[in-house]
Amino acid sequence: MTAFLTSWLASVPTFAVPLLLASVGLILSERAGILSLGAEGYMAVGAMTAAIAALSGLGLGVAAVAAVAAGAALALVFGIAVVVFRADQILAGLAAVALGVGFTGVVGRSYLHKPFAGLAPLDLGRLADIPLVGPLLFRQDLLAYVAIALTVAAWGFLWRSRAGLAWRAVGEDPATADVAGVDVQAVQLAAVLVSGGFGGLAGAYLALAGSEVWVDGMVAGRGWIALALVIFARWDPARALLGALVFGGVEALLPRLMAIGVAVPVYLMSMLPYLLTIVVLVAAGAARVRRLAEPAALARPYIRQDRR
């Protein structure tokens, strides 16, 4: 039993890190008042770009940076539509998903199923030998630790900095923030770009640390799970870390059970993360968590003439 738990816990970050990165990016966007449904598209272009860069021999670091740039580029298209031209954020977000998935389906066709050397766990010595938690905490790749550092940085930025206060003010009352001298459009566009960059990095993790190969459709709905995770976390990056571990732990359970020969209904077990997503959304609605925690001006286009 101990061996199973150790193996399961060690594999949780592989599933949790992409959800964590994508959800933190969405939180940063929504804290500035922009509802972004494009995480699935950002992750798709990030995964494909990282795989192409790795297959081209550019190095894993360059691959990760390229994935961030690719996610931000797609987010820029979305950001111009909703921030500059004030397009409907829900429709524009869905369009970003379609654009990202379609783009990767065409461009990535030549790179399908070509394996490459991915990220290896760091060697942290005897720390990884600590029972149960050692492999979970000290036998992960560099990008997993970067993801945690970025989450802490995002939390500190939002809740412990003046710039973060202005960022959150834009999401709560953009008119008041505008009167106070905050450039609302600049903040919202920056939030969208950061969200895309986080989503691209989440996709890079799927390719570089998860599968080590590019497969069309490899994001497999994780962008939508990240959206539910935002509500689960109540728009707080620190809570998103806990939520990502919960969702990632559920997703990591199936391969571990199969590895020890347990006869499980594969398709039913594969549904668990999505069932958990539905449960979270229903529970949040019933408890009015969403209404109490979400930014007041979320998804409301701001026109400067509206300021008081």
- The pLDDT assigned to 297 comes to 92
**pLDDT single digits (tens) 260-280:** 766 666 666 667 777 777 877
- The pLDDT assigned to 284 comes to 67
Amino acid residing at 201: L
The answer to whether 205 and 21 are in contact (CB under 8 A) is yes
- The pLDDT assigned to 269 comes to 65
Q: How many CB atoms lie within 10 A of CB 54?
A: 29
- The pLDDT assigned to 59 comes to 94
Residues of the chain with pLDDT under 50: none
- The pLDDT assigned to 128 comes to 85
H/E element, 158: helix 142-160
H/E element, 289: helix 289-293
- The pLDDT assigned to 293 comes to 76
Find the domain containing 92 and state its range.
2-306
Q: Is the dihedral of CA 26, 84, 100, 66 positive or negative?
A: negative
Cα 102 versus chain centre, distance: 19
The structural domain count of the chain equals 1
Separation of alpha carbons 165 and 156, rounded Å? 11
- The pLDDT assigned to 283 comes to 74
- The pLDDT assigned to 251 comes to 85
**pLDDT single digits (tens) 110-153:** 999 999 999 999 988 888 888 878 888 898 999 999 999 999 99
CATH code for the domain in which residue 82 is found: 1.10.3470
Cα 182 versus chain centre, distance: 27
